[in-house]
Amino acid sequence: MALKVRKNLSAPAPYDCPLSECLSIIGGTWTPNILWNLGAGARRFSELRGDIPRISAKMLAARLKELEENGVVSREVKPTSPPSVEYSLTAHGRELLPAIEAIAAVGHKLKKRKQRARKKS
Listed by start position, the domains of the chain span 26-120
What confidence tier does 11 reach under pLDDT thresholds 50, 70, 90? confident
Q: Which residues have CB under 8 Å from 19's CB, separation 6+?
A: 13
What confidence tier does 14 reach under pLDDT thresholds 50, 70, 90? low
The per-residue pLDDT for 23 is: 86
The per-residue pLDDT for 68 is: 97
Query: How many whole angstroms separate alpha carbon 73 and alpha carbon 94?
Result: 9
Q: Give tens-digit pLDDT for 61-110.
A: 999 999 999 999 999 999 988 889 999 999 999 999 999 999 999 999 99
Query: How many whole angstroms separate alpha carbon 46 and alpha carbon 49?
Result: 5
Options 1.10.10.10, 3.40.50.1370, 3.40.50.300, 3.90.1640.10; CATH for 26-120 is 1.10.10.10
